[in-house]
A and B are shown apart, each in its own frame.
Chain A
C-alpha cells in the first residue's frame, strides 16, 4: 500500500500569529512552526494502515525550508520517507494553487491513499481534500473518524452535524480525518534517531513539473484585500447565585436561543 500523508507546517497556535503588512500573507518567520494539529492524526492513521496492511508511508509537505522540522517529526513518528516541495515561486499560493502543486507532486510519488487533515489551523479553508480529489479524479472521503481498508475497498465513518455517515469507495482515494479518529503517538527516541537517516527528497517547481505561471501570490485566484485584528473579547456577565442560579442560567440560555 502506497500511503501518502499531507503535512502542513503552521505557526504554533500558542504563539501570536500575524499577517505581513506588505503582501497580506502569513508571517511564517515570526512564529515557531509546528505540524498542523489535525495532520498528526493523519500521520497516525497512515501509520496504522501501514501496520495493518503493509506498505510505505510518504510525507508530502509544501512549505518553506524551515518546514523540515515538521517533516523530521513525521519521520520520527514512523513515516518511511518524505517529499518536500519547496520553491520561492510557491510562496503566497492560495488553495486552488496549493491543490495543483500537490497534485503534481503526487504524480511523482504515486499513491493508493492520500490522507490529510480536514482543516489547517492557519488558513482554515478546509477545501484541500475536495480540490485534490477533483483534480486527481478519485473518490473523496472527508471528515472521517473511522477508516477501514478491505482489499481495494475503503470504508469510513464520517462525522456530520446529525450523526455519522457510513461511506465506501474503491482505492485510490483521498481521505481527510478529524481528531476523533485516533490518538497520535509520540515520536520515540529511537524513531527520532532513525529519522535522521530517512530519505527526504526536495522538489522545486521544475522537478515536480509545476508550471510557474500557475502558482504563487501574483497568480493567485484569491487575494486578501484587507484584514483587521479581532475585536477584544467583551467582559463576560457575572451572575451571582442567590438561590435562583438555575433559573438565571435557563433564562440566559433561552435568551440566546440555545434552549
Chain B
C-alpha cells in the first residue's frame, strides 16, 4: 500500500534511478544481507566496483567521473539502498557524501584528479574521520592535531567510529592546526597510520566501523584540503550525508512495513489472519501515515535542495523526523511479527537495530533538537 503515491511526483529520470537501484539491490545484495549482518561483515572491496559501475558513488557530484544527478535522484537511491540495509547505505553515504564530497568541495584540482575518478568507479574507497574517542557531538573541541614541520605536516591523535575505516584507501582526517581545523588526505599505508575494526556491535553489523590511530603521521604540504578552514568544513559534508539519511530512513521503515503487512495478511490466530484484528490494523494505519509523511518530507527537502535553497534547519528537521518515524515503524512492525520478529529470517529486527546507529550518527537526535530549538527561540542551548 502507498496511499499518498508520493513517487508519482518523481521525474522519469528519478524513477529510472529508483527502479535501477531497486533491481540491483534485490538481485545482487538483498539475498546476502542477513548473512553479512549475522557474520558482522561487509564485503566493501568486492561491492565497491559494482556500485561504481552503476554510478552510485558520488552520483550527485558533477565532473571527475561522477554522474551529476539531481539531489532527489540521489535521495531516492539512498532510500532504495537503505530499504535493503542501513549499512549498505552508510557505505555509499560515506564514500559519496563525506569522503568524495570533501575532496570535491574543498580539494585542489590535483587532489580531485587523483582521487575522484577512482572513487567514483569504486576502485578506491574513502572514509571520513571526524569523531574521536573523547569528542563526538562537540567536534569543534577535537584533540587530533597537525603541526608544521618545514613544509610537511605531522598528525597525531585518534578517530573513532569511522565507517569504512579499515577498508579505505584514503582517509579524510580533520585535525586542529595553529590556524584552525583543517582537512587532510591520508592514504592507507602511510607510516604511523593504522586502522582497526570495532567489534561486538549489535547495530550496523553489515558495515565496517573502525578506529583510526595517527602516530606522528608525516604528510606532504599538498595533503591538506586547501579550500576550507574551520568547523564549517566537516559540517558542510555532514549536511550532505544527513540529507541522504533523511531519505534512507524512509526505505528502512518501508521495508519493515512491507514485512508487517505481508505477515498480517497471512499469519492466522484465533481462526483468522491477524491483519483482521482492529489492533493490528491500527498499527498498520499509523505506519502508513508515518511513512507517507516521511516520504513527503524527504521529497520536499529534496526539491528545495535541487533549487539550491535548502537550509541546515530543514535538513535537521528531516533527519530528526524521518529517523524517528522509521524507528517507530520498525518497532510496531516487530510486534506484528511476534516471535518471528526477532529473527534474521525477516528484515525487521535488523533494521530496528541499525536505526539505533542512524539515530546517533550524523548528529544525534538531541543535537538536531537543539538545532531546531535554537532556530525557534533564537537561544543557543548547546553549551
Contacts and interface: CB of A to CB of B under 8 A. Distances in A.
A189 interface: yes
Contact of A189 (B12, B23, B56): B56
Highest count of chain B CB atoms <10 Å: which of A72, A189, A196:
A189
B114 interface: no
Interface stretch (B13-21, B218-226, B312-320): B13-21
Interface string A162-186: 0000000000000000000000001
B260 to A, nearest CB: 20
B17 A189 contact: yes
B140 interface: no
Interface string B53-97: 111100100000001110001000000000000000000000000
Contacts of B12: 68-69, 72
Which 8 residue pairs spanning A and B have beta carbons closest together?
A189-B55, A189-B67, A188-B55, A190-B67, A189-B59, A186-B20, A190-B55, A192-B16
B346 interface: no
Interface residues of A, number: 15
Nearest to B55: A189
Contacts of A76: 16
Contact of A196 (B13, B19, B55): B13
Interface of B: 12-13, 15-17, 19-20, 23-24, 53-56, 59, 67-69, 73
A248 B242 CA distance: 59
Given A69-B12, A72-B12, A192 B20 contact: yes
Highest count of chain B CB atoms <10 Å: which of A68, A72, A188:
A188
Nearest to B58: A189
A252 to B, nearest CB: 27
Interface of A: 68-69, 72-73, 76, 186-193, 195-196
Contact of A193 (B15, B24, B68): B68
A235 to B, nearest CB: 16
Nearest to B67: A189
Highest count of chain A CB atoms <10 Å: which of B20, B68, B73:
B20
Contact of A192 (B23, B24, B53, B67): B67
Contacts of B53: 188
Contacts of A193: 13, 67-69
A251 to B, nearest CB: 31
A186 B54 contact: yes
B16 A73 contact: yes
Nearest to B23: A186
A69 B17 CA distance: 12
A68 B15 CA distance: 13
B15 A192 contact: no
Contacts of A72: 12-13, 16
5 contacts: A72-B13, A76-B16, A186-B24, A187-B16, A192-B17
Contacts of B69: 189, 192-193
Contacts of B17: 189, 192
A188 B55 CA distance: 6
Contacts of B59: 189
Given A186-B20, A186-B54, 16 more contacts: A68-B12, A69-B15, A72-B12, A72-B16, A73-B16, A186-B24, A188-B55, A188-B67, A189-B17, A189-B54, A189-B56, A191-B55, A192-B16, A192-B17, A192-B20, A192-B67
Nearest to A193: B67
Nearest to B56: A189
Nearest to B21: A186
B97 to A, nearest CB: 15
A194 B54 CA distance: 14
B74 to A, nearest CB: 9
A68 B55 CA distance: 23
Nearest to A76: B16
Given A193-B67, A193-B69, A188 B54 contact: yes
Contacts of B55: 188-192
A207 to B, nearest CB: 23
B253 to A, nearest CB: 22
Contacts of A186: 20, 23-24, 54
A187 B53 CA distance: 10
Nearest to A196: B13
A178 B177 CA distance: 63
A186 B23 CA distance: 8
